[in-house]
Amino acid sequence: MRFTPRGTRFFDLLTDAARNLVTASALLQELVAARPEDREALAKRLHDVEHQGDELTHTIMVELNSSFVTPFDREDIQALAGKLDDVLDFMDTAADLAVLYRIEAFPPGTDVLVRVLCRCAELTASSMPGLAKVGDLEPYWIEVNELENEADRLYRRILAHLFEPGGDALEVLKTKEVVEQFELAADAFEHVADVVQTIAVKES
């Protein structure tokens, strides 16, 4: 058992996990814009990224169990790793359902909602190295909170479009379930930011 943290190991692993979200959100953006017949390959690539994320989460947990000293509270490291993994799970589920349900076309505004996820991913990835100096991270969690509010507004507008009279009820329900995963991913990004804020408060 080590009695000191091994350099920047935790920061590096959490940064790698966050960078995975950038890759996943870019694939999700491609999938939403793609023709239905091209989505399965993109969903498979995204699932591979999700698997890499699971491996990173596992590695972080192993490091926690083998490190006597951690750079901040081990429960916060565990929570942060788990919340990052949650985001990836929602993205992976969205892609999988889009293929399984054979979604023909996403409603207007879905592309904008996914762009919000891409921005959240970029912010999160660029901010993870800042955990070594958490006092500089306030702009990160403020912007992610604003983006999550924007995602909520977009989601409500997408629902309003879906439930306009004349739509096919089954298609509406299938599309709603997929789009809901996007909104849940936005919520999960905010949960990541909340953990970072908690760490910053403890370390200040």
CATH code of the domain covering residue 145: 1.20.58.220
135: pLDDT strictly greater than 80:
no
Burial call 54-71: b when 16+ CB within 10 Å, e when fewer? eebbeebeebeeebeebb
d(CA 198, CA 204): 10
| pLDDT tens-place string over residues 17-75 | 999 999 999 999 999 999 999 999 999 999 999 999 999 999 999 998 888 788 888 99
- How confident is the model at residue 5, as a pLDDT? 43
Flag whether the pTM goes above 0.75.
Answer: yes
Flag whether 4 is in a domain: no
Range of the domain at 90: 9-203
Number of domains into which the chain is organized: 1
Asked whether residue 3 is domain-assigned, the answer is no
> CA–CA separation, 10 vs 77, rounded Å?
8
**Within a domain: 2:** no
pLDDT digits (tens, 9 = 90+) for 80-130: 999 999 999 999 999 999 999 999 999 999 999 999 999 999 999 999 999
Residue 62 lies in a domain: yes
Name beta bridge partners: 67. Answer: 2
Q: 3-state class of 2 per DSSP? A: strand
Is 18 inside any structural domain? Answer: yes
